[in-house]
């Protein structure tokens, strides 16, 4: 709604400018009850098409009737007002009103369309109008008794003047709406200069009811009238549409409550517009009114990511699917958060729908499957396929300053341990060695069991060959520490082979080099000692 104040000359000047700028505009003059009347000759409206409808409300789509009425009130209060509405034929239109009650007794309107000329016949349906008009008028006295009606009352409601005259209008409205009519009448008496509106179900002569808008204007102190004028507008189509909308909203609400997932609607200001009970239970956010309050139990890092995703979904219509931790009552769960944007171009507003599902069990099952596919169950190291996949990726990324070391570890005399102490002791020794290898490594390094008593250690970001040598010696020293295996003292021994590269090398070739260096170390130790005393670090 836009409005401006001004005296009669300023209002007339504004009207002249408007009609001059809009040669295709359709114009009209309406009386104080909203009925179209002949154009006053003194107003600069000649040469433009005029509306054929009987009443201004008829040219507007039912759902925009209240918008037009609000614009009418603005014109009466401020002199000039405008509204954007849909017309009865669905065309979008801009309606401007100019107050010429002083001097001409009318409100001038100028209607333009953003997509082309407006049809001056909009709102005219001769067959419909004859069968049942949408607008009629009656006059009442100071006690709200009906004193006169127009012919449209009979066509619209079925009552004749003889049947209505002397009756109070409140006796013809639905009992549930009677109090609203009384309240309207009190306001009309207290503020006689302000037209009063009220919705009610008006009884027809056949006993049925029709939803109407009653527009009452107090003219009791006007010597030319001495009455209360009441325009009755049929709004049954609009009310039916509103009731259908309420029914759809109720259906949507019930649907939301029946879903196993938590559902919420959020706007681009971070406000929580609606949420079902499942969402409140999942996130333990019963009093939440904003996204920040809604996500208070999401783990901090995930909360920041999710809040950014909400903004992107609302403003940029960017979808998102995230798995984040939620801590409620000291128990951590994993939830899937799905965001989809809903941008309303007509209203210029942006929203997002958030769906939240507890996927803790699914994630745990998935992790178990991943673990089974990648982890050796005995040593908890990567299995052969998994460690080779890691090495293949890192070897392809190797470059100067980002070299990769592959360390092949083979336990010496492992068969003797199995033969003397049993396979359970052998398993214990493998677990011990795996733990020692992991303990000697950096966080980014990976230990894999290739099979039997052979391990492969993959170390990324090893800058030089010298650094790789130091790393290999540290692994050997970690392994060859005294221990108890199967209740017997033991000093594990290992032969170690190293391969290092700072260029793109095939992973299989790198392992083959490390394997070859390991066998060189094993032979060297065998020649040096009749009973090997430990592993050796080979240059590769």
Q: Please give the pLDDT value at position 52.
A: 84
Residue 539 lies in a domain: no
Give the model's pLDDT for residue 528.
Answer: 66
Contacts for 440 with CB less than 8 Å, ≥ 6 apart? 474, 475, 477, 478
Residue 21 lies in a domain: yes
CA distances in angstroms from 417 to 294, 312, 408, listed in the order given:
59, 61, 21
Tabulate helix, strand, coil % of the chain (nearest 5): 40, 30, 30
What's the pTM?
Answer: 0.44
Among 203, 207, 213, smallest CA distance to 236 is for 213
Domain identity same for 275 and 177: no
Label residue 530 by pLDDT band (50, 70, 90).
low
- Confidence band of 132 (pLDDT split at 50, 70, 90): low
Residue 61 predicted with pLDDT over 70: yes
Between 46 and 107, where is the model more confident?
107
Cα separation, 144 vs 189, whole angstroms: 11
pLDDT digits (tens, 9 = 90+) for 260-279: 888 988 888 888 888 888 88
Measured distance CA(231)–CA(149) in Å, rounded = 10
Does 370 reside within a domain?
A: no
Examine residue 331 and state whether it is found in any structural domain, yes or no: yes
On whether both 489 and 384 belong to a single domain, the answer is yes
Summarize pLDDT for 446-460 with one digit per residue, the tens.
999 998 999 999 999
Pairing relation of β-strands 494-501 and 92-100? unpaired
Q: Are 321 and 335 in contact (CB under 8 A)?
A: no
DSSP code of residue 261: S
Do 69 and 156 sit in the same domain of this protein? no
Backbone angles phi, psi at 284, to 5 degrees: 50, 55
* Domain co-membership, 382 together with 473: yes
Specify the pLDDT at position 4.
41
145 with 97, same domain: the answer is no
Out of 112, 144, 179, a domain closes at 112
Average pLDDT rounded to a whole number, residues 211-228? 93
Residues 329 and 444 in one domain: no
417 in any annotated domain: yes
3-state secondary structure of 201: strand
User: Taking the C-alpha atoms of 443, 446, 452 and 454 in order, what is their torsion angle to the nearest 10 degrees?
Assistant: -100
Q: Are residue 399 and residue 470 in the same domain, yes or no?
A: yes
536 contacts 496 by C-beta, under 8 angstroms: yes
- At 345, is the pLDDT very low, low, confident or very high (cuts 50, 70, 90)? low
| Other CB atoms within 10 A of residue 134 CB | 25
**Mean pLDDT rounded to a whole number for the chain:** 86
Residue 503 banded pLDDT, cuts 50, 70, 90: confident
Please tell me which residue, 241 or 424, carries the higher pLDDT value: 424
Domain-ending residue, one of 73, 88, 112? 112
Assign residue 284 the CATH number of its domain.
Answer: 3.30.450.20
Task: Provide the percentage of residues in the chain whose pLDDT is more than 90.
Answer: 40
| Residues 402 and 478 occupy one common structural domain | yes
Q: Are residues 198 and 80 in the same domain?
A: no
254 is a domain residue: no
Residues 458 and 380 both lie in one domain: yes
Whether the pLDDT of residue 401 is over 90: the answer is no
Q: Could you give the CA distance from residue 168 to residue 517 in angstroms, rounded to a whole number? A: 111
pLDDT tens per residue, range 169-215: 999 999 999 999 999 999 999 999 999 999 999 999 988 889 999 99
What is the rounded average pLDDT of the residues 226-248?
85
Does 129 score more than 50 pLDDT? no
Residue numbers of the domain that contains 44: 2-112
The mean-pLDDT minimum among 44-48, 87-91, 489-493 falls in 44-48
Q: Where are the beta strands (DSSP E) in 53-185?
A: 80-86, 92-100, 106-112, 135-140, 146-149
Token duo for residue 20: 């001059």
* CA–CA gap between residue 455 and residue 469 (Å, rounded): 17
Q: Which strand (E) or helix (H) includes residue 435? A: helix 423-439
Summarize the confidence of residues 202-229 as an average pLDDT.
Answer: 92
Q: Is 399 helix (H, G, I), strand (E, B) or coil?
A: strand
Residues 397, 512 within the same domain: yes
Interstrand relation of 227-234 and 262-267 (parallel, antiparallel or unpaired): unpaired
Taking phi over 0 as left and psi of -120 to 50 as alpha, with beta for the rest, 422 belongs to: left
Domain count, the chain: 4
Residue that terminates a domain, selected from 61, 77, 112: 112
Q: How far apart are CA 498 and CA 510, in angstroms?
A: 9
Asked if 210 and 173 count as a contact pair (C-beta separation under 8 A), the reply is no
Helices (H), 158-276: 161-164, 178-190, 236-258
Smallest CA-to-CA distance from 448 within 372, 373, 517, 376 is with: 376
Mean pLDDT value of segment 15-38: 88
Give the CATH number of the domain where residue 424 resides.
3.30.70.270
The answer to whether residue 15 is domain-embedded is yes
> What sign does the dihedral 522-528-534-537 (CA atoms) show?
negative
Tokens of residue 173, six digits: 């409205």
Per cent of the chain over pLDDT 70 is 93
Looking at the structure, tell me whether residues 379 and 521 fall in a common domain. yes
Report how far residue 424's alpha carbon sits from residue 459's, in angstroms, rounded to the nearest whole number: 30
pLDDT band at 538 (very low <50, low <70, confident <90, very high): very low
Residue 254 pLDDT grade (very low, low, confident, very high; cuts 50, 70, 90): confident
Query: Strand pairing of 454-459 and 483-485?
Result: unpaired
Whether 534 shows a pLDDT value over 50: the answer reads no
363's tokens: 């994630």
Q: What is the mean pLDDT of residues 481-506?
A: 87
User: According to DSSP H, which parts of 203-358 are helical?
Assistant: 236-258, 277-283, 291-294, 300-316
Residue 488 is assigned to a structural domain of this protein: yes
What's the pLDDT at 39? 85
Q: pLDDT tens, 298-333?
A: 998 888 899 889 888 888 888 999 999 999 888 999
Are 338 and 354 a contacting pair, CB within 8 Å?
A: yes
Q: What angle do CA 459, 465, 469 make, to 5 degrees?
A: 70
pLDDT beyond 80 at 365: yes
Give, as one character, the DSSP assignment of residue 222: -
């Amino acid at each position: 709604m836009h409005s401006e104040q001004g005296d009669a000359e300023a209002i007339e000047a504004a009207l002249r400018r408007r009609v001059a700028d809009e040669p295709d505009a359709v114009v009209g003059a309406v009386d104080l009850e909203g009925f179209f009347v002949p154009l006053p000759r003194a107003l600069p409206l000649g040469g433009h098409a005029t509306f054929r409808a009987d009443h201004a409300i008829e040219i507007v789509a039912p759902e925009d009737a209240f918008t037009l009425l609000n614009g009418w009130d603005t014109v009466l209060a401020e002199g000039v007002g405008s509204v954007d509405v849909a017309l009865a034929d669905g065309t979008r239109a801009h309606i401007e009103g100019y107050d010429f009650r002083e001097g001409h007794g009318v409100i001038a309107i100028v209607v333009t369309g953003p997509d082309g000329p407006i049809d001056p016949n909009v709102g005219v349906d001769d067959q419909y109008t004859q069968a049942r008009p949408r607008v009629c008028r009656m006059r009442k006295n100071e006690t709200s008794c009906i004193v006169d009606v127009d012919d449209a009352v009979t066509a619209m409601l079925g009552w004749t003047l003889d049947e209505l005259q002397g009756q109070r209008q409140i006796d013809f409205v639905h009992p549930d709406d009677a109090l609203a009519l009384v309240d309207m009448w009190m306001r009309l008496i207290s503020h006689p200069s302000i037209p009063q509106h009220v919705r009610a179900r008006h009884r027809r002569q056949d006993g049925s009811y029709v939803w109407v808008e009653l527009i009452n204007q107090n003219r009791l102190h006007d010597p030319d009238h001495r009455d209360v004028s009441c325009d009755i507008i049929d709004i049954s189509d609009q009310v039916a549409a509103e009731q259908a909308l309420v029914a759809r909203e109720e259906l949507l609400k019930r649907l939301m409550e029946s879903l196993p997932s938590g559902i919420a609607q959020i706007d681009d200001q971070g406000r929580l517009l609606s949420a079902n009970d499942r969402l409140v239970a999942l996130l333990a956010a019963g009093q939440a009114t904003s996204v920040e309050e809604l996500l208070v139990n999401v783990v901090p890092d995930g909360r920041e990511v999710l809040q950014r995703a909400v903004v992107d979904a609302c403003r940029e219509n960017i979808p998102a699917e995230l798995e984040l931790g939620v801590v409620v009552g000291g128990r951590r769960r994993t939830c899937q958060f799905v965001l989809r944007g809903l941008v309303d171009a007509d209203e210029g507003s942006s929203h997002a729908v958030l769906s939240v599902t507890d996927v803790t069990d699914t994630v745990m099952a998935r992790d178990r499957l991943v673990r089974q596919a990648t982890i050796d169950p005995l040593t908890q190291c990567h299995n052969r396929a998994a460690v080779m996949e890691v090495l293949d990726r890192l070897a392809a990324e190797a470059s100067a300053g980002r070299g990769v070391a592959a360390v092949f570890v083979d336990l010496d005399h492992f068969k003797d341990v199995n033969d003397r102490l049993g396979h359970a002791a052998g398993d214990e020794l493998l677990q011990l060695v795996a733990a020692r290898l992991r303990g000697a490594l950096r966080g980014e390094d990976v230990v894999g069991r290739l099979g039997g008593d052979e391990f492969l250690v993959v170390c990324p970001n090893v800058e030089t060959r010298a650094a790789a040598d130091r790393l290999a010696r540290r692994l050997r020293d970690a392994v060859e520490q005294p221990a108890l295996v199967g209740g017997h003292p033991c000093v594990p021994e290992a032969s170690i082979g190293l391969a290092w590269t700072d260029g793109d090398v095939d992973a299989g070739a790198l392992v083959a080099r490390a394997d070859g260096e390991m066998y060189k170390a094993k032979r060297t130790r065998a020649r040096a000692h009749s009973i090997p005393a430990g592993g050796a670090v080979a240059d590769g």
